[in-house]
Chain A
Amino acid sequence: MRAARTAYPLKWRIMDTLEGVAAAIWPARFRRATPYLMLLPAVLLVGLLVLGLIQIADASLRTLDTTTFQFSDNYSIANFRRALTEPLFLVVAQRSLIAALIVTTVTLVFAFPYAYLMVRTRSPGLRKFLLIALFLPFFIGQVVRAYGWLIILGNQGMVNEALGLVGVAPMRLIYNYPAVLFGLVQYMLPFAVLMLAPALTAIPEELEAAAGSLGASWVRTFIHVVLPLARPGFIGAGVVVLTLSLTDFAVPAILGGGSQDFIANAIYDQFFRTSDQGLGATLALMLVALGSILVGLVFALFGAGTLAMGRSRA
């Protein structure tokens, strides 16, 4: 018996011991509950989030007395009325929403060829280069990157200096809406490529060859085969980019220079400048609602994309 034991590799014996310990703590008859046990951490986290939301909902219903800086004890919907009627907030909401839509569209258009080339190239060197170029921005935080754009695009920045060399007068390239959009697209591109790449990998290359042999030019192959099959990737990437840009804070703050506030910046102002936590909470709730409605709309219109479980739907 002892001889047989030593014949097992050490790894197996460690695994056996671990399994023995696991069986002692969590006997086999509890096994049906195991999946629920594994859900527990996620449920706890989501639960905390819900608690926070309840707190925010509570705050959103109390108004700030500007003379005493005290919050009212009784509930009212005054904050919501202000948020929906004051032009400033409507402008900010509209600006964020339009930016999110533009950024999503532009990012998907740019991300697709990148992801396609990365997945389909026969050269391992090129694939590696594209991958590294994709991950590099992740190592540089969003704030540093936005600040980098300030340096490059600023009045004394590289771009304006280069323009000066060819006799073009310095232009204002930052602190405006296009600069924010540009910064957001640049920030979102890696996310979109990362979400598109697996969807493209899942499309067998043979399908494209088949479409060719059946008479489809590459444009028609792209429209009739690649695009429909990559849809889960487009939906996933689209939802991520849409929600991330809608709720972004750093890029509008830095590249917009205070003139291009998004909803998140307005919330920040309420919490930390005017200290009106009630109104800040209201704006935060409305942002959550807006995001949820948008995502729900995307899922309703295009299906749940990569989130669709089980069999592929068309």
Chain B
Amino acid sequence: MQEPFRAVASREAEGGREIAVTVRNVGMDFDGVHAVKNASFDLPKGRFLTILGPSGSGKTTLLRMIAGFQTPSSGEIFINGEAVSAVPPHKRSIGMVFQRLALFPHMTAAENVAFPLKMRRRDARTIPDRVERYLALVRLGGYGGRRIHELSGGQQQRVAIARALVFEPDLLLLDEPLAALDRKLREEMQLEFRRIQRELGVTTINVTHDQREALVVSDDIVVMDQGEIQQKARPIHTYRQPRNAFVANFIGVTNFIAGTVRAVSEMGDVSIFRGDLMLAGKLGDPANPPAEGDKASGAIRAEQIRLAGDAAQLLTLDCVLAGTVTDTIFEGERMVYEVACAAIGDEVIRVFDHDPAAHTQFDIGESVFLGWNARDMLVFR
């Protein structure tokens, strides 16, 4: 554990950027509850990192330790290469947007935004200008005089963002500030976060349980479960190359078919048996392959499965199963079919059909065939 931290912290990251935040073997125990276990990652300057995980996975705890509200039980956090465990929150240069915003109700929007500048004793003459500039940045120009309760939910979000950014912190932390908004507004604010972050280039750590938000706004995603980091990767890699079954299941709609490993190749090809059915796929985590005879499951995304009324239409695919439609769910931009497949003990496979022309193609009870390519199936232990 005692590796030379400086070397890690000053290492040039991909893209030749400096590291803004290093989390090294950080753990947090609340009398017996391990909220965070041995978490480590580096965040280069100027990047937007999202910590994604289900409720209770330790996201807030990790964020609060970075902000300085809690002291790690073990490990160390570095900001700009400095160990910060002895630095109180108000001495760290961190802007934070809280889950419930935590705007000061006894102040106007402008007074809220001016607060960090006053607390940091910035030149009083420059404050009004700067406040107005940041209100304009979040598209609230002219709203400075409003009291907090006179603003809509979305406008309050924007005030909270302006307040967290106005003093030009080294780091911006967001603790699910969008969770309470309705979907339309949430998606609008996600893009807004991304725009502002790119405009200012501020290093950002965002916490969410919303996989869509993580995919849309982030440069990197850290997936957490039960206090442990499962994977850190670019959004597209997190989605396409999940490292374990939890990540594959948490992001996107994934079908799992359990079986027994028959063979593993050097190239990362793997085949598993489910009864008489042989399924070919790729290793999900090539660094940690299963052995022959191990239990494993093949994971296939709902959108990577083709559906046809006639097996002949699926001849080019590596794996084809026959099944019966048990349910059709219309979700607007796509149709979801649930198909029970006899070859896997009538387990239900979910399939997306994004082809608008095909929407009413299959009815409940109809016999269909589904198929996919071996390279799209990932096999996990």
Q: Report the minimum CB–CB distance from A260 to chain B (whole Å).
A: 41
Question: Are B95 and A213 interface neighbours, CB within 8 A?
Answer: yes
Question: Are A214 and B163 interface neighbours, CB within 8 A?
Answer: yes
Does residue A217 face the partner (Cβ distance < 8 Å to B)? Answer: yes
Residues of B within 8 Å of A225, CB to CB, are: 104
Question: Are A215 and B149 interface neighbours, CB within 8 A?
Answer: no
Q: Report the minimum CB–CB distance from A150 to chain B (whole Å).
A: 45
Question: Are A212 and B90 interface neighbours, CB within 8 A?
Answer: yes
Does residue A220 face the partner (Cβ distance < 8 Å to B)? Answer: yes
Residues of B within 8 Å of A211, CB to CB, are: 104, 115, 119
Does residue A67 face the partner (Cβ distance < 8 Å to B)? Answer: no
Of chain B, the residue at the smallest CB distance from A314 is B106
Of chain B, the residue at the smallest CB distance from A209 is B69
Does residue B234 face the partner (Cβ distance < 8 Å to A)? Answer: no
Question: Are B98 and A209 interface neighbours, CB within 8 A?
Answer: yes
Does residue B17 face the partner (Cβ distance < 8 Å to A)? Answer: no
Residues of A within 8 Å of B88, CB to CB, are: 212
Residues of A within 8 Å of B164, CB to CB, are: 214
Question: Are A215 and B102 interface neighbours, CB within 8 A?
Answer: no
A229 to B173, alpha carbons, bound, how many Å? 25
Which of B98, B120, B167 touches A210 (beta carbons < 8 Å)?
B98
Which of A209, A216, A217, A314 touches B102 (beta carbons < 8 Å)?
A209
Question: Are B167 and A215 interface neighbours, CB within 8 A?
Answer: yes
Which of A204, A213, A229 touches B96 (beta carbons < 8 Å)?
A213
Question: Are A213 and B104 interface neighbours, CB within 8 A?
Answer: no
Query: CB-defined interface of A218-255 with B at 8 Å, one 1/0 digit per residue?
Result: 00100011001100000000000000000000000000
A215 to B167, alpha carbons, bound, how many Å? 10
Question: Are A217 and B69 interface neighbours, CB within 8 A?
Answer: no
Which of B89, B92, B104 touches A207 (beta carbons < 8 Å)?
B104
Which of A206, A215, A312 touches B105 (beta carbons < 8 Å)?
A312
Question: Are B98 and A312 interface neighbours, CB within 8 A?
Answer: no
A224 to B145, alpha carbons, bound, how many Å? 18
Of chain A, the residue at the smallest CB distance from B166 is A214
Of chain B, the residue at the smallest CB distance from A213 is B96
Count how many chain A residues have C-beta atoms less than 8 Å from C-beta atoms of the other chain.
20
Residues of A within 8 Å of B68, CB to CB, are: 212-213
Q: Report the minimum CB–CB distance from A217 to chain B (whole Å).
A: 6
Q: Report the minimum CB–CB distance from B121 to chain A (whole Å).
A: 9
Question: Are B106 and A228 interface neighbours, CB within 8 A?
Answer: yes
Residues of B within 8 Å of A273, CB to CB, are: none
Does residue A81 face the partner (Cβ distance < 8 Å to B)? Answer: no
Question: Are A213 and B149 interface neighbours, CB within 8 A?
Answer: no
Question: Are A206 and B106 interface neighbours, CB within 8 A?
Answer: no
Which of B69, B98, B100, B119 touches A215 (beta carbons < 8 Å)?
B119
A217 to B118, alpha carbons, bound, how many Å? 12
Question: Are A206 and B119 interface neighbours, CB within 8 A?
Answer: no
Residues of B within 8 Å of A11, CB to CB, are: none
Question: Are B149 and A312 interface neighbours, CB within 8 A?
Answer: yes
Does residue B262 face the partner (Cβ distance < 8 Å to A)? Answer: no
Does residue A311 face the partner (Cβ distance < 8 Å to B)? Answer: yes
Does residue B94 face the partner (Cβ distance < 8 Å to A)? Answer: yes
Q: Report the minimum CB–CB distance from B293 to chain A (whole Å).
A: 51
Which residues of B are interface residues toward A (Cβ below 8 A)? 67-69, 88-90, 92, 94-96, 98-100, 102, 104-107, 115-116, 119-120, 147, 149, 163-164, 167, 173
Beyond the given pairs A210-B104, A229-B104, 17 more chain A to chain B contacts, judged by CB atoms under 8 angstroms and listed by A's residue number, are A206-B98, A209-B89, A209-B98, A211-B119, A212-B69, A212-B89, A213-B68, A213-B69, A213-B92, A213-B94, A214-B167, A215-B167, A229-B105, A229-B106, A312-B106, A312-B149, A314-B106
Which residues of A are interface residues toward B (Cβ below 8 A)? 204, 206-207, 209-217, 220, 224-225, 228-229, 311-312, 314
A to B CB contacts below 8 Å, 27 in the list: A204-B100, A206-B98, A206-B102, A207-B102, A207-B104, A209-B89, A209-B98, A210-B98, A211-B104, A211-B115, A212-B88, A212-B90, A213-B89, A213-B96, A214-B90, A214-B95, A214-B115, A214-B116, A214-B163, A215-B116, A215-B167, A216-B90, A216-B115, A224-B115, A229-B105, A311-B149, A312-B106
